[in-house]
Amino acid sequence: MGLGGYASRVAESMQSCKRAKITGLISGTPAKLDEWGAKYGVPEGSRYNYENFDKIKDNPDIDAVYVITPNALHHDQVIRVAKAGKHAICEKPMALNAAEGEEMIAACAAAGVKLLVGYRLHFEAKTLEVVRMRSEGEFGKIKFFQGQCGFRIGDPNQWRLDKALAGGGAMMDIGIYAINGARYMVGEEPIWVTAQETKTDTVKFKEGVDETILFQLGFPSGAVASCLSTYNMNYLDRFFLNGEKGFAELQPSTGYGPIEGRTNKGKLTQPHVTHQTQQMDEMAGIILDGNEPVVPVDGLEGLKDLKVIDAIYRACATGERQELKLV
Amino acid sequence: MGLGGYASRVAESMQSCKRAKITGLISGTPAKLDEWGAKYGVPEGSRYNYENFDKIKDNPDIDAVYVITPNALHHDQVIRVAKAGKHAICEKPMALNAAEGEEMIAACAAAGVKLLVGYRLHFEAKTLEVVRMRSEGEFGKIKFFQGQCGFRIGDPNQWRLDKALAGGGAMMDIGIYAINGARYMVGEEPIWVTAQETKTDTVKFKEGVDETILFQLGFPSGAVASCLSTYNMNYLDRFFLNGEKGFAELQPSTGYGPIEGRTNKGKLTQPHVTHQTQQMDEMAGIILDGNEPVVPVDGLEGLKDLKVIDAIYRACATGERQELKLV
């Protein structure tokens, strides 16, 4: 659902999938439905628009819908997918805020369908190796995580810079990687957050659209995280995890190209697989075969990030530390 | 003054100096005075203890005194040096707080002597190359600085972990590098600071001795800094400066060994010179020849860092952002 730029990347990557397959299309643009339908062999009967896609409930070729639309649309669309009896994969951020996220989880539970969030890095080999090393104690007690996520965004007219469609700015799009990364790298749920916003371009980044936010997370063990979310800097994309006995550095840590990294034990050498190919096959396994991923990708996982985002925006607005209750 | 571990490093380094020379010694330990006096050729008449060192005023062989004692002693000792008519070099942090720093500056001004602070990195070649590139606009408009400074401190009984002598914990010793680095790397004076403290070892790090503090600085241009100060993590010592057109990364950025770094234009290749050798010759040039360093090392420079430290401790105590007036 939503045949834009990122959906194109997913669709191309899925051509190498073993378990996942494009069996339906949803778009508001008839020409895209024709083009994609021909390209990926999706028959006309499995092509839908935003008015009629509830009819997927009668289509046995469709098991799940990957919602890849602007953030503000996720809530209603996922609930419609659930009501049509299909599993939902929702691109991150799962919704505009935690309240929406909770409604989506409830709707999917009520419909008896799974809700997954498009956290492709949860299946990425170097990332998972660092998670394994941390969970097996190879870094010792974890003390610190740093996530620097951002890039200089281009076209000022894109939906990502429209508060009504994006629900915010860099934090909703790229900052969430640092939040999510902090949680799976440290291996704990944060209990507080502080945040500071700065804006150097008020033309491009209008009211409610964050350009740059620094935020800090505190964890029950006393570990802390220091993160950067920005739409106005390049040369970032670094994760750094520090423990009493070792460290891991991933740079790039979240981009689509190969993730590169090292630990105190040396360079990470796990082979690169196109993230979206890996993700879609793994998600097919979760949906169709009941597989359990090492790092969760379910609605609750998405909701936790939304709770942190809500708190970050409150912290920016008030200047006050926000307590978190993710579990 | 103060013939401890760091003074030994300075004294050894000074054997390669061209302009600076050890011509006097001040210590509370007679055996050290004998040993150092013999080793460095300092006659008995130029050896002093903490009771009688005011007599240096009558010693024409002494131009300046490098005060390398616990932080809590700097204020009174520098003022005594000034009153003896000698220039003072004071190890960082210059004092326990800004109020002390202001008194030291006033005393040196009244006595007509110079007051320098032991910022050895202000003379380090790779650091200065990054400062040059930034000041000539090679990184474009500066957006972000990150300073991660810390190490796991050893002996729990050392003066650095004694609030009365150190005035604090990691921030006074190693965190100040991130403050100072943020200022000379960004090339502006910060106008606000926020900070968050975490303590995982309350035995080693007693009341008033900070283990780990995250802090953030805001600059007039809208640039921000995100820093870490800790006595309980290794694998740090990284500076990262990010601008619209390029970046610089120094790692290690503050240690005694060679500083290593790269920018968007490639690896920094300036040759390593022992920091303390370079520092002492440069400081001799400032004191004796009236040279002006590229990055200041005077009392005002030290005072600015103390003002930030005072504000960081207030921010930790109150949870509130502190406005800064450094200029």
Taking an 8 Å cut-off on Cβ atoms, the answer to whether A198 and B214 are in contact is: no
DSSP-assigned states of every residue in A230-267: ESS--S--EEEEEESS-EEEESS-SSSS---EEETTEE
pLDDT at B94: 98
**Quick check: is A150 in a domain?**
yes
Extract the tokens encoding A170: 């860099």
pLDDT at A175: 98
Q: In whole angstroms, give the CA distance from residue B326 to residue B26.
A: 34
Q: How confident is residue B123, by pLDDT bands cut at 50, 70 and 90?
A: very high
| Residue numbers of A annotated as active site | 92, 177
- pLDDT tens for each residue of A34-72: 999 999 999 999 999 999 999 999 999 999 999 999 999
pLDDT at B179: 98
Q: How confident is residue A109, by pLDDT bands cut at 50, 70 and 90?
A: very high
Flag whether the pTM goes above 0.80.
yes
CB A210 within 8 A of CB A168: yes
**Quick check: is A293 in a domain?**
no
Supply the range of the domain harboring residue A57.
5-117
- pLDDT tens for each residue of A11-28: 999 999 999 999 999 999
| C-alpha distance from residue B142 to each of A235, B254, B267 (Å) | 12, 21, 20
| CA distance between the termini of chain B | 31
Alpha carbon of B245: minimum distance to chain A alpha carbons (Å): 9
**Quick check: is A284 in a domain?**
no
Residues of chain B whose beta carbon is less than 8 angstroms from a beta carbon of chain A are: 141, 143-144, 146, 148, 152, 194, 196, 198-200, 212, 214, 216, 218, 221-224, 226, 228, 230, 232-236, 242, 244, 246-247, 264, 319-321
Does one domain contain both B90 and B168? no
Does one domain contain both B183 and B317? yes
CB B218 within 8 A of CB A198: yes
| C-alpha distance from residue A189 to each of A197, A219, A224 (Å) | 23, 6, 11
Q: In whole angstroms, give the CA distance from residue A120 to residue A126.
A: 12
Mean pLDDT, range B29-47, rounded to an integer: 98
Q: How confident is residue A287, by pLDDT bands cut at 50, 70 and 90?
A: very high
Q: In whole angstroms, give the CA distance from residue B246 to residue A64.
A: 43
Does one domain contain both B240 and B94? no
Does one domain contain both B199 and B54? no
Q: Which residues from chain A sit within 8 angstroms of residue B199, using beta carbons?
A: 222
pLDDT at A155: 95
Does one domain contain both B192 and B206? yes
- pLDDT tens for each residue of A99-108: 999 999 999 9
Q: How many domains does chain B have?
A: 2
Which of B117, B144, B167 is the last residue before a domain boundary?
B117
Taking an 8 Å cut-off on Cβ atoms, the answer to whether A196 and B218 are in contact is: yes
Q: In whole angstroms, give the CA distance from residue A163 to residue A225.
A: 27
Does one domain contain both B112 and B130? no
Active site residue B307: no
Extract the tokens encoding A324: 């978190």
Q: Which among B226, B232, B264 has the least Cβ separation from residue A143?
A: B232
pLDDT at B166: 98
**Quick check: is A294 in a domain?**
no
Taking an 8 Å cut-off on Cβ atoms, the answer to whether A198 and B221 are in contact is: no
**Quick check: is B237 in a domain?**
yes
Extract the tokens encoding B128: 């200065």
Q: Which residues from chain B sit within 8 angstroms of residue A316, using beta carbons?
A: none
User: What is the ipTM score, two decimals?
Assistant: 0.94
Mean pLDDT, range B98-110, rounded to an integer: 98
User: What is the domain-level CATH number for residue B25?
Assistant: 3.40.50.720
Does one domain contain both A109 and A166? no
**Quick check: is B126 in a domain?**
yes
pLDDT at A297: 98
Q: How confident is residue B101, by pLDDT bands cut at 50, 70 and 90?
A: very high
Question: What is the SS3 assignment for A298?
Answer: strand
**Quick check: is B31 in a domain?**
yes
Q: Which among A212, A242, A320 has the least Cβ separation from residue B319?
A: A320
Helix (H) or strand (E) holding A226: strand A224-230
Does one domain contain both B151 and B263? yes
Location of structure tokens 């299946």:
A123
Which of A71, A94, A117 is the last residue before a domain boundary?
A117
pLDDT at A246: 98
Q: How confident is residue A144, by pLDDT bands cut at 50, 70 and 90?
A: very high
Chains A, B: CB pairs < 8 Å: 90
Location of structure tokens 């008839």:
A30
Catalytic residue among B66, B177, B184, B313, which?
B177
Mean pLDDT, range A110-122, rounded to an integer: 98
Extract the tokens encoding B15: 């054997």
Residue B242 backbone phi and psi in degrees, to 5: -125, 125
- pLDDT tens for each residue of A229-280: 999 999 999 999 999 999 999 999 999 999 999 999 999 999 999 999 999 9
Helix (H) or strand (E) holding A67: strand A64-67
CB B260 within 8 A of CB B252: yes
Does one domain contain both A111 and A126? no
Extract the tokens encoding A165: 């469609």
| C-alpha distance from residue B259 to each of B136, B250, B255, B267 (Å) | 22, 7, 7, 11
User: What is the domain-level CATH number for residue A248?
Assistant: 3.30.360.10
Does one domain contain both A109 and A47? yes
pLDDT at B309: 98
Q: In whole angstroms, give the CA distance from residue B283 to residue B198.
A: 37
Does one domain contain both A131 and A94? no
Helix (H) or strand (E) holding A163: helix A163-166
- Exposed, middle or buried: residue A98 (CB in 10 Å: 0-12, 13-18, 19+)? buried
Q: In whole angstroms, give the CA distance from residue A188 to residue B196.
A: 19
pLDDT at A70: 98
Taking an 8 Å cut-off on Cβ atoms, the answer to whether A200 and B143 are in contact is: yes
Q: Which among A199, A214, A235 has the least Cβ separation from residue B216?
A: A214
**Quick check: is B26 in a domain?**
yes
Taking an 8 Å cut-off on Cβ atoms, the answer to whether A226 and B222 are in contact is: no
Which of B117, B135, B151 is the last residue before a domain boundary?
B117
Mean pLDDT, range A113-117, rounded to an integer: 98
Does one domain contain both A17 and A87? yes
CB A156 within 8 A of CB A202: no
